[in-house]
Amino acid sequence: MMSLIHGVLFLNFWTFTLSLVMSRTIYESAIVDKHERWIVDYSRKYESKLEKEKHMTHDEFIVAHTGYKMGDNSTMSQSTSFMYESFSDVPTSIDWRKKGTLTPIKSQACCWAFSAVAAIEGIIQIKTGKLISLSEQQLLDCSTNGGNRGCNGVWMMNAFDYIIQNQGITTEEGYPYQSMQETCDPEKQINKVDIIIKGYQTVPINDEQALLKVVANQPVSVALEGHGLDFRFYNGGVFTGDCGNSLTHAVTIVGYGTSDEGLDYWVVKNSWGKAWGENGYMRIQRNVNKQGGLCGIAMKASYISSIIS
């Protein structure tokens, strides 16, 4: 009788143990599935860029993620006029994300190319209704005539000049991003987007009201100070952090508005991946009592003024 009881207890014990093992296996499988979906959603391998960045010094992070070169550059296709000077129908808020004007957030080490491309993608969609992801890599490899040096710090306006001189730019699919400058490949440039950029303008310096007029009509490529710790670790809300006006990073303004707390802000599309900020975007305070705006955002802004489709 005792042997039978021991046998039943033993069987129940192993049944319970097996159940735990199976439950754990199912749970771990679910975690793996969720993780793999995360990889797909973020379009990157989990050798993890985030994990890698945790171990970077701040200087290493800045070198890897910024690259705007401030300087007195002379460009060939830049108009000195301001086409929105008399524009007065400025809405209280606008968000180009909600109008289908923007391609998904990307992750880069060459901010100037991504800033310029996002502005171009935006105006093309607004004018033609076509949302096309364009090639940043083509700019890195081929836009060298105006002082561009791959990811090592350049001007967005030189990118505009190159596209105008080249009479177009190809798609991201046709000339995919490689995270570094490579040799310009003429064969990859053959299938250009059937839209020609004819000119661009700069926004009057240190003028947030002029900048507002442009953003009400299209995304704008801007430079700002993006090397501070507050900026690096921004994770949501309206950014009011500590920063100066040393222009070290390039982003794209894609909207503006006012928070529930009454803070005016710009909506900025960054290129540090979806895990940064608000799904890759930032709201940064607008109308601050500071020349150049917060982080110098109104000091160096440019936008496409003429396209032919």
* Active-site residue list: 111, 249, 270
- E strand or H helix at 285: strand 281-285
Q: How far from chain centre, in Å, is Cα 41?
A: 16
The CA distance from 177 to 136, in Å, is 6
Over the Cα atoms of the chain, what is R_g?
A: 24
Helix (H, G, I), strand (E, B) or coil at 201: strand
Name the burial class of residue 199, with classes exposed (0-12), middle (13-18) and buried (19+) by CB atoms within 10 angstroms of its CB.
middle
Say which residues have a Cβ less than 8 Å from residue 197's Cβ, sequence separation at least 6.
120, 160, 163, 164, 168, 169, 304, 306, 307
- E strand or H helix at 14: helix 2-42
- E strand or H helix at 307: strand 301-308
The CA distance from 77 to 307, in Å, is 12
